[in-house]
Amino acid sequence: MMNEAKKIFDPFILLFSAVYLIVLLLSLYTHMYYGEYSTRYLSQEIYRYAISKEEPSQWMLQYREEILSRIEEKNEAHQEGLFGKLDAEALVLNRVIKSFSHVEQLQDLWEREAILAQRAAKRGLEPDQSEAIKNAYSSLVAPEYGNYQPFEDLIEWNRSYGWLILVLLCFVCARVYPMEYTTGMSSLLFSVALRPGRIARKKISAVFIFTLGVLTILWASEICIAIYMAGSSRELLQPAQALFCMDASILSLRVWEVILYQYGAAFCLSIFFNGAILFLSAVLRDTMNTLLLGIVVMALPYGLSQIFPTVNLLDARRYLGVTELLQKTDASIYWVSAILTIVGLALAIASILRFRRN
């Protein structure tokens, strides 16, 4: 398989892939803290300080009052506060207070939801489901205070831009078969290679291993960036409901598990996409045409989601984001993943069968 891998991943492709990944990671980095990634140090300091207090929420509110009065009454916006410039502190404090308040309100939210579910059960409306929801809420554990913002940013970034990795995969897959035709090597492979199908299988394996490697590197780097921006990794172990995008979920998930779900979704979607592009490249035998069609394939789910806005699963970004699907708590995320994987593998196998003499 190494030989086929060397053929596909020549130095240019490897360099292109590395640059592409760096650009994606830079994009993620600059999206942290609502795009104000320079507040990283300040955020870390304020969170650390607040959590060390006996009443973090109360201290936060008091300190914000103090800052606001200094800014508004004494016009000291650019003066130094406890951690940095006052105006920057005010900005970060607002976010910290919002996050802490969200964590505090979770218990109330769950209790309200459980009561609603219980009432629904009494009224006879889907009693089994209502009972299950009530039990699920009562078994949830409240998260601790923490700097969840970078992890939320990571999950949101994956939801919005995670699909961009498909462009790199499209670029790689589009040349897997055409390279044999453009170099004229197909005539040798089909005449003297003992098992041309085996060559195609090795190509496919190399592409899928590359995909796994790229996604793993991307996701590991993303988590590292998020931990670096948050200043700690303890938030990863906290319940996922600490994230705004997961507050209505009744699943007992940790933050790291949500990120893992995103990784799994990205891998399943990549298998499907790889299979589709490989099949197209085996049929068209031309890299440029395959790339163009690949872009159409990428844009298709978005176009369909615009035509059918109520059908969530048609949009690849919603699928990659996973939070909407996890909040629904139905099995759709599993069967969509299974379908994508099976269809992708089937298309890849079909491409192997098409790699033969005329």
Partner 1 sequence: MMLECKNLSKQYKRGVKALDNFSGNFTCGIYGILGPNGAGKSTLLNMMAQLISPTSGKILFGGRDISLLGSEYRKQIGYLPQNPPAYAWMSARQFLEYMYQIKEINGKGHSVDEALEWVELTDRANDRVKNYSGGMRQRLGIAQAVLGKPKILLLDEPTAGLDPRQRALIKNLLRMLAEDTIILLCTHIVSDLADIADEILMIRSGKLLGMLPPDEWLKRLDGKVWWVCENEKYLNDYPTAIRSLRAGQSGLRIISALPPEGAVAAAPTLEDIYLQCFMERCDDE
Give yes or no for a contact between 149 and 217, defined as CB atoms under 8 angstroms apart: no
One residue of 75, 192, 307, 310 binding partner 1 per CB under 8 A: 192
Which 3-state string (H, E, C) describes 203-237? HHHHHHHHHHHHHHHHHHHHHHHHHHHHCCCHHHH
User: Toward partner 1, which CB reaches closer, 194 or 307?
Assistant: 194
CA–CA separation, 114 vs 170, rounded Å? Answer: 46
Shortest CB 171 distance to partner 1, Å = 17
One residue of 52, 73, 124, 195 binding partner 1 per CB under 8 A: 195
Window contacting partner 1 (CB under 8 A); options: 188-196, 247-255, 292-300, 303-311: 188-196
Angstrom CA distances, 261 to 29, 70, 117, 200, 265, stand at: 21, 45, 27, 31, 6
User: Toward partner 1, which CB reaches closer, 19 or 193?
Assistant: 193
Q: Is 193 in the site for partner 1 (CB under 8 A)?
A: yes
Q: Is 15 in the site for partner 1 (CB under 8 A)?
A: no
Q: Is 9 in the site for partner 1 (CB under 8 A)?
A: no
One residue of 116, 189, 217, 313 binding partner 1 per CB under 8 A: 189
Give yes or no for a contact between 268 and 260, defined as CB atoms under 8 angstroms apart: no
One residue of 52, 75, 307, 357 binding partner 1 per CB under 8 A: 357
Q: Is 338 in the site for partner 1 (CB under 8 A)?
A: no
CA–CA separation, 33 vs 45, rounded Å? Answer: 14
Give yes or no for a contact between 162 and 320, defined as CB atoms under 8 angstroms apart: yes
User: How many chain residues are in contact with partner 1, going by CB under 8 A?
Assistant: 18
Q: Measured on CA atoms in the order 52, 54, 57, 60, is the torsion positive or negative?
A: negative
Window contacting partner 1 (CB under 8 A); options: 2-10, 28-36, 134-142, 157-165: 2-10
For residue 62, give the nearest of 103, 105, 93 by alpha carbon.
93
Per-residue x/- track, 154-183, partner 1 (CB under 8 A): -----------------------------x
Residues contacting 315, CB < 8 A, separation 6+: 301, 302, 304, 305
Q: Write out the residues near partner 1 by the rule CB under 8 A.
A: 3, 7, 10, 183-185, 187-195, 199, 357-358
